[in-house]
Amino acid sequence: MSIFDNDRRLYKHLELLCEKWNGTKYLHMGMNEFGVDCTKVIALMFQEMKIISKVDNVRFPRDWFENTKEQRAINEFLRHINEYGENPYVRGNVYENEEPKPGDILFFRARESYVANHSGVYLKNNRMFHCIDGLGCHFVDYSFFWKKKFFSLMRLEGN
């Protein structure tokens, strides 16, 4: 069960953080309010929610095209939630054939690739928050466009 299923305050905190980052420009390898990329904005939000720590040390691959079949970006999210998370009762689990729930981290093949090269956070009412070059951080409908590019999701679950 997702940690957001029964904790309205935690989910509301996530929504407020999405609002806070909404409008931030996209900056490849960006790490603050002056610009972020799709993985870093998620990491920073989850750090502020005390789900992960040491975001400055998170070694997400900065060039998705260097990704391998081992899915380093997904593995780094897992490692920093499961090993360095501030809440020992929260674990990240990856699913490929699940319908997303609010709070899930979604991974996409936004470009032709055999690996994930984009990420976002699924929200209620079939919405998603993500950061993309040219548009920055913003809300979007989780539409057919994104569903056909879906690769996998990470659900944060209580132990």
Domain that holds residue 12: 8-158
Confidence category of residue 159, pLDDT binned at 50, 70, 90: low
Report, as an integer, the average pLDDT of 5-15: 93
CATH classification of the domain holding 127 = 3.90.1720.10
In a domain, 129, yes or no: yes
Reference 104, options 54, 37, 151, 159; nearest CA is: 151
Residue 65 pLDDT > 50: no
pTM over 0.75: yes
The total of structural domains in the chain comes to 1
In a domain, 121, yes or no: yes
Give the chain's count of helices (H) and strands (E). Answer: 4, 8
